[in-house]
Amino acid sequence: MLIFEHSRPGRRAPSLAPATAAAVDDIPAEFLRDQPPALPEVSEMQTVRHYTRLSQKNFSIDTQFYPLGSCTMKYNPRACNSLAMLPGFLARHPLAPASAGQGVLACLYELQEMLKDITGMQAVSLTPAAGAQGEFAGVAMIRAYHLARDDQARNEILVPDAAHGTNPATATMCGYQVKEIPTDKQGDVDIEALRAAVGPQTAGIMLTNPSTLGVFERRIKEIAQIVHQAGGLLYYDGANLNAILGKVRPGDMGFDVIHMNLHKTFSTPHGGGGPGAGPVGVSNRLEPFLPVPLVAYDGDEYRWITQQERPQSIGRLSAFMGNVGVLLRAYVYARLLGREGMHRVAEFATLNANYLMKRLQAAGFDLAYPQRRATHEFIVTLKRQAKQQGVTAMDFAKRLLDFGYHAPTTYFPLLVPECLLIEPTETEAREELDGFVEAMCQIQQEAQSHPELLHEAPHTQPVRRLDEVRAARELDVRWNPGA
Amino acid sequence: MSNTPDDLKYSKSHEWLRGNADGTVTLGITDHAQDQLGDLVYVEVPEAGRELQAQEACAVVESVKAASDVYTPIAGTVVEGNETLADTPEAVNNDAYGAGWLLRLKPADAAALDGLMDASAYQAFLESE
């Protein structure tokens, strides 16, 4: 039920209203509205109950195991939240002079430095407000670099078919043609196809490593060499950085530009619509093009670096400094973990994924790449079950909800039929992983004895199986109480 | 078993092609392809006059599972795209070889169709996949 449906004319909730109305008398008449806005008219208690009920219907990392592959749904430590909400941070005005905000600038500067260290890049800009904006900034820098060298012919970005789905979209948004590079049977980039594809038209390649197949790209050095020799640059999509945090650095693999998803790898809240943060890191040759503002420190004072100092910058991506509240949470997270803790993130994320993979394999599930070790995630394919029992990956996913588990990512990557992409993350206990395996086994038994239980799932959730096709064909997301 | 009409040619990326009497070629995706994709929710077809290279992406089909490029196995010039699919993407699911056609093109080489698979070869290819 929508809150508008609780609405009755004249109902008010005044207990928190200001005692006196604000006197605003200088708005020009043509900007004043004739009709009051169509707000719901509800009592305070109705409002509290409505939103409390909605929050209870939510499926979230705070209530359930959430193994959504490639999304890194890990626990968000409460300390990060508490410290990022200190009054000094919350009350700071974004236009306050740097001298009045040395504390927050110090945190941002240190975060820049830590991200440089962790990724092996030469410089970092924190300002992209989410992963998509980070990708856009990264490819915009590749473009700016080639144009600054008057290298106009490079109009193509290579994207392996195991890369993140956002990569071709980003390249297209930045005005490039996209050429897809196939994957070999082992899940690595097809090197011969790559050799054949590079040339004077190659602006760069966008790679996710580990790839969305849940395996590490073993010939990354060779890939870097091939692309660099052709004059192209290497873009690292940080979606799967959790698997290698503190272990292998994209900068050492030969990448020229990377984006990181702090809402994944650095555990800022994720899945509630954000906000996210997608900092970008670059090698020396791309540094002049970094988006502004950046934070500088001369040993005495922290200050903003703006476009004036960086005339070749691709510019600003938002009015202020991206999502500072999110950056602060990531900063606290990194400080709490320390260098040793960062190593443990990758170790436990990988251990949990491999444990879950081996247990599911032993229980009779088919792996997409059984000969490969998992990174932080792995793929189960239900192709056999679809053929023999007529149950799909979607049926399994929906039935998992009834067992109290959020579904893994389904039907992605596109290379693997009827797939579940499973990422447990480092913050789950072994008992939780065992419970998930038991649920998968029980669903497998149901697929044989009562397949309709799967086809009609979920049975215990606030809503039943949604008609996704109709929702996409008749897209209608507007509530219009007047009409 | 997927439906694969005998009078059509097929590609490994699951397109079908029909040689028309006027020398043009009609292209769509096969019954197997629509079945794999599931219910389509969006179809994008090329504009008339566009020059296509062989193996070039020429249309987009999107289901709730995935968005996929459609490739033309032969080079040619687009004569028309099936604009009605913008409102009725389900036609590709319901009638892949009829109302669900995607585009018609004038081939650069009239003999190009000869190099493609016939129905029995495509059927064998599907079984080997």
A275 contacts A326 by C-beta, under 8 angstroms = yes
Task: Note which residues in 56-75 of chain B have CB less than 8 A from chain A.
Answer: 63-66, 68
- Residue among A213, A279, A227, A293 nearest A256 (CA): A227
| A298 shares its domain with A382 | no
Probe site for chain B from A381, A473, A476 (most B CB atoms < 10 A): A473
State the smallest CA–CA distance between residue B66 and chain A in angstroms. Answer: 7
State the smallest CA–CA distance between residue A401 and chain B in angstroms. Answer: 19
Q: Is residue A384 part of a domain?
A: yes
Block residue for tokens 């001298």: A99
Rounded alpha-carbon distances, angstroms, from residue B20 to B7, B17, B27, B71: 11, 9, 11, 19
Angle at alpha carbon of residue B113, lines to B111 and B116, rounded to 5°: 130
State the smallest CA–CA distance between residue B65 and chain A in angstroms. Answer: 6
Q: Residue A188's domain is classified under what CATH number?
A: 3.40.640.10
Q: Residue A379's domain is classified under what CATH number?
A: 3.90.1150.10
Q: Looking at the DSSP assignment, which residues form a beta bridge with residue A159?
A: A180
| CB contacts, 8 Å: B42 with chain A | 472
Q: Is the pLDDT of residue B1 over 70?
A: no
pLDDT score, position A386: 94
Probe site for chain B from A180, A420, A468, A474 (most B CB atoms < 10 A): A468
Q: Is A414 on the interface with B (CB under 8 A)?
A: yes
Phi, psi of B83 (to 5 degrees): -65, -25
pLDDT tens across A193-236, in order?
999 999 999 999 999 999 999 999 999 999 999 999 999 999 99
pLDDT score, position A19: 80
| A253 shares its domain with A315 | yes
Q: Is A469 on the interface with B (CB under 8 A)?
A: yes
Q: Is residue A56 part of a domain?
A: no
Q: What does DSSP say about strands B76-81 and B51-52: parallel, antiparallel, or unpaired? A: antiparallel
Contact A472 B68 (CB under 8 A): no
Q: Is A472 on the interface with B (CB under 8 A)?
A: yes
Q: Is B42 on the interface with A (CB under 8 A)?
A: yes
The amino acid occupying position A437 is V
| A392 shares its domain with A302 | no
A476 contacts A417 by C-beta, under 8 angstroms = no
Structure tokens at A421: 């992409």
Structure tokens at A228: 């660099």
| A194 shares its domain with A314 | yes
Name the E strands within A245-293. Answer: 257-259, 280-282
pLDDT tens across A101-148, in order?
999 999 999 999 999 999 999 999 999 999 999 999 999 999 999 999
Question: How far is CA A186 from its chain centroid?
Answer: 26
| CB contacts, 8 Å: B65 with chain A | 410-411
Nearest to B41 among A410, A414, A469 (CB): A469
State the smallest CA–CA distance between residue A191 and chain B in angstroms. Answer: 20
How many whole angstroms separate alpha carbon B49 and alpha carbon B26? 15
Q: Is residue A181 part of a domain?
A: yes
Please say which residue of A336, A365, A392 terminates a domain: A336
Contact B89 A414 (CB under 8 A): no
| A203 shares its domain with A224 | yes
| CB contacts, 8 Å: A468 with chain B | 64
pLDDT tens across B61-119, in order?
999 888 889 999 999 999 999 999 999 999 999 999 999 999 999 999 988 999 999 99
Beta-carbon contacts of A436 under 8 Å, excluding residues fewer than 6 positions away, are: A65, A67, A356, A405, A424
pLDDT tens across A410-421, in order?
998 888 999 999
When pLDDT is averaged across residues B46-64 and rounded to a whole number, the result is 94
Q: Is residue A409 part of a domain?
A: yes
Please say which residue of A301, A336, A371 terminates a domain: A336
State the smallest CA–CA distance between residue B126 and chain A in angstroms. Answer: 14
When pLDDT is averaged across residues A369-392 and rounded to a whole number, the result is 95
Q: Is residue A158 part of a domain?
A: yes
| A323 shares its domain with A352 | no
Q: Which domain holds residue A390?
A: 346-471
- pLDDT band of residue A369 (cuts 50, 70, 90) is very high
Nearest to A411 among B41, B65, B89 (CB): B65
State the smallest CA–CA distance between residue A122 and chain B in angstroms. Answer: 37
Q: Is the pLDDT of residue A443 over 80?
A: yes
Domains, chain B, with CATH or none: 9-119 (2.40.50.100)
Give DSSP secondary structure letters for A133-178: HHHHHHHHHHHHHHHHTT-TT--EEEEETTS-THHHHHHHHTT-EE
| A372 shares its domain with A407 | yes
Q: Looking at the DSSP assignment, which residues form a beta bridge with residue A207?
A: A236
pLDDT score, position A481: 55
Contact A469 B39 (CB under 8 A): yes
Q: What burial class does residue A163 get, using C-beta atoms within 10 Å of its C-beta: 0-12 exposed, 13-18 middle, 19+ buried?
A: buried
| A363 shares its domain with A315 | no
Please say which residue of A315, A336, A357 terminates a domain: A336
Task: Determine the straight-line distance between the first and last CA of chain A, rounded to whole angstroms.
Answer: 18
Q: Is the pLDDT of residue A483 over 60?
A: no
Nearest to A472 among B41, B66, B68 (CB): B41
Could you tell me the sign of the dihedral formed by the alpha carbons of A55, A56, A58, A62, in that order?
positive
A172 contacts A166 by C-beta, under 8 angstroms = no
| A187 shares its domain with A316 | yes
- pLDDT band of residue A273 (cuts 50, 70, 90) is low
| A372 shares its domain with A328 | no
Task: For residue A414, give the chain B residue with the closest CA.
Answer: B66
Per this entry, what is the length of chain A? 483
Nearest to B64 among A414, A417, A469 (CB): A469
A304 contacts A278 by C-beta, under 8 angstroms = no
A282 contacts A123 by C-beta, under 8 angstroms = yes
Number of structural domains in chain A:
2
Count, in order, helices (H) and strands (E) of chain B: 3, 9
Contact A472 B64 (CB under 8 A): yes
Q: What burial class does residue B126 get, using C-beta atoms within 10 Å of its C-beta: 0-12 exposed, 13-18 middle, 19+ buried?
A: middle
Q: What does DSSP say about strands A177-181 and A156-160: parallel, antiparallel, or unpaired? A: parallel
Q: Looking at the DSSP assignment, which residues form a beta bridge with residue A367?
A: A380
State the smallest CA–CA distance between residue A400 and chain B in angstroms. Answer: 18
CB neighbour burial string for A73-101, b if at least 16 within 10 angstroms, e if fewer: bbebbeebeebbeeeebeeeeeeeeeeeb
Cα radius of gyration (chain B): 13
- With H, G, I as helix, E, B as strand and everything else as coil, classify residue A436: helix
Q: Look up residue B119 and give its DSSP letter.
A: H
Q: Is residue A6 part of a domain?
A: no
How many whole angstroms separate alpha carbon A1 and alpha carbon A3? 7
Angle at alpha carbon of residue A251, lines to A310 and A161, rounded to 5°: 105
One-letter-per-residue 3-state SS of B9-52: EECCCCEEEEECCCCCEEEEECHHHHHHHCCEEEEECCCCCCEE
Q: Is residue A322 part of a domain?
A: yes
One-letter-per-residue 3-state SS of A328-379: HHHHHHHHHHHHHHHHHHHHHHHHHHHHHHHHHHHCCCEECCCCCCCCCCEE
A257 contacts A223 by C-beta, under 8 angstroms = no
State the smallest CA–CA distance between residue A414 and chain B in angstroms. Answer: 7
| A251 shares its domain with A368 | no
When pLDDT is averaged across residues A78-85 and rounded to a whole number, the result is 96
| A329 shares its domain with A370 | no
pLDDT score, position A80: 96
Q: Look up residue A189 and give its DSSP letter.
A: B
Contact A417 B36 (CB under 8 A): yes
Q: What is the ipTM of this complex?
A: 0.74
Q: Is the pLDDT of residue A250 over 90?
A: yes
Contact B64 A468 (CB under 8 A): yes
Q: Is the pLDDT of residue A476 over 90?
A: no
Rounded alpha-carbon distances, angstroms, from residue B39 to A468, B30, B33, B67, B92: 9, 14, 11, 11, 9
Q: Is the pLDDT of residue A482 over 60?
A: no
Q: Is A383 on the interface with B (CB under 8 A)?
A: no
- Residue among A244, A291, A296 nearest A72 (CA): A244
pLDDT tens across A344-354, in order?
999 999 999 99
pLDDT tens across A16-75, in order?
888 887 777 888 989 989 988 888 999 999 999 999 999 898 888 889 999 999 999 999
| CB contacts, 8 Å: B68 with chain A | 414
Q: Is residue A393 part of a domain?
A: yes
